[in-house]
Amino acid sequence: MRFVHFRFGRHYRQYLDAEDEKSQREIISNKEKDSFVYMHSTKWFNLQSREGRRLMLCHVLALLRRHEAESICHQVDVTEESDQSSSYASESGEEDDVAGGGDDYMDTAEW
């Protein structure tokens, strides 16, 4: 078993959304833009050996911890946005569903 991690550059989405090949080439030629995908991987773990299984399990647990930590951070961000939106809505007299859950809400934290 092997774990592979991909990280997308800040401008990768812009590269994907480019309308034609010329626009894509302009984006990747611009040294100021990070439009690439980066890949990192572990060594192969032999799941038939005790040590290989142990190391694989350590990686799975680390991934779960990371996911949990990111989920907590995301929840805090959404709660803070909700609190800010609620205070704005109550000050301005607007009571729309601004904090999420509405059809227009899109989580763009990943991009």
Q: For residues 15 and 23, what is the distance between their CA atoms, to the nearest angstrom?
A: 8
Segment 73-105, tens digit of pLDDT: 877 776 666 666 555 555 545 444 444 333 333
Residue 77 lies in a domain: yes
Question: To the nearest 10°, the Cα dihedral for 66, 100, 87, 78?
Answer: 0
39 and 58: one domain?
A: no
Tokens (6 digits) for 61:
């647990």
Taking the C-alpha atoms of residue 94 and residue 48, their distance in angstroms, rounded to an integer, is 61
Residues forming a β-bridge with 38: 7
The C-alpha atoms of residue 54 and residue 47 are separated, in whole angstroms, by: 9
Q: How many domains does the chain have?
A: 2
Mean pLDDT across the stretch 58-66?
92
Considering the domain architecture, whether residues 54 and 74 belong to the same structural domain is answered as yes
Which secondary structure element, helix H or strand E, spans residue 14, and what is its range?
A: helix 12-17
Based on the fold, state whether residues 30 and 57 are members of the same structural domain. Answer: no
21 with 54, same domain: the answer is no
Domain that holds residue 28: 1-44
Task: Please indicate, yes or no, whether residues 34 and 56 belong to a single structural domain of this protein.
Answer: no
pLDDT score for 82:
63
Residue 65: inside a domain: yes
The per-residue pLDDT for 84 is 61
pTM above 0.95, yes or no: no
Asked whether residue 12 is assigned to any structural domain, the reply reads yes
* Structure confidence at residue 98 (pLDDT): 40
* C-beta separation of 81 from 59 below 8 A: no
Quote the CA–CA distance of 5 and 29 in Å, as a whole number.
Answer: 25
Q: Does residue 14 form part of some domain?
A: yes
Residue 98 lies in a domain: no
